[in-house]
């Protein structure tokens, strides 16, 4: 078994695709429109669905905003340099909500960014 994807509902599909591709550097892997069901699914990630976990962006026609709730935490992304990643995210128009630095009670360098719908993206520094 392995994790296939995480699905999040988004209020503006084009805005979300732009964030995940232009700010975080992911690629659109696939897109499926379901006009009868009134929704569209777009899968984004750093590789194919077969190579690793991806994110499913679900847009329900006519819904512009969702309550994220208290149960959802964040999506985690590995980066070689969290400090540089934060600068690049800001340069590309993204919002960093916690600058890079050691996590509380540990030494791992982390940071947080926020996507256009308010979902948190954790950047975890992993040296190769």
DSSP annotation string for 20-84? IIIIS--EEEEEEEETTTTEEEEEEESS-TTTS-EEEEEEETT-------SS---EEEEES-HHH
Yes or no: say if 68 and 50 are a contact pair by the CB < 8 Å rule.
Answer: no
- Residue 127, pLDDT > 80, answer no
Domain 5-60, CATH number (from 3.30.70.270, 3.90.190.20, 3.10.180.10, 1.10.287.110): 3.10.180.10
Average pLDDT, the chain: 94
**Residue tagged 């995940």 (tokens):** 20
Residue 98 DSSP SS3: strand
Give the confidence band of 128 by pLDDT, cuts at 50, 70, 90: low
CATH architecture of 75-125: Roll (3.10)
Q: Give residue 40's Cα distance to chain centre.
A: 17
What's the pLDDT at 95? Answer: 97
What is the reported pTM? 0.85
Q: Express each pLDDT in 69-113 by its tens digit.
A: 878 899 999 999 999 999 999 999 999 999 999 998 889 999 999
The residues spanned by each domain of the chain are: 5-60, 75-125
| Residues tagged active-site | 122
What is residue 92's DSSP assignment? T
| 75-125 has the same fold as 5-60 | yes
For the purposes of burial, counting CB atoms within 10 Å of the CB of 108, is it exposed (0-12), middle (13-18) or buried (19 or more)? exposed
């Amino acid at each position: 078994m392995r994790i296939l994807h995480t699905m999040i509902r988004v209020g503006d599909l084009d805005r979300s695709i732009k964030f995940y591709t232009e700010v975080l550097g992911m690629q659109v892997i696939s897109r499926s429109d379901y006009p009868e069901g009134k929704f569209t699914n777009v899968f984004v990630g750093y590789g194919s669905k077969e190579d690793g976990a991806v994110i499913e962006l679900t847009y329900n026609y006519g819904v512009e905003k969702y309550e994220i709730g208290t149960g959802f935490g964040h999506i985690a992304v590995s980066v070689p340099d969290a400090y540089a990643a934060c600068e690049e995210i800001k340069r590309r128009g993204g919002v960093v909500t916690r600058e890079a630095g050691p996590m509380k009670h540990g030494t791992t360098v982390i940071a947080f960014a926020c996507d256009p719908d308010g979902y948190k993206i954790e950047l975890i520094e992993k040296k190769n």
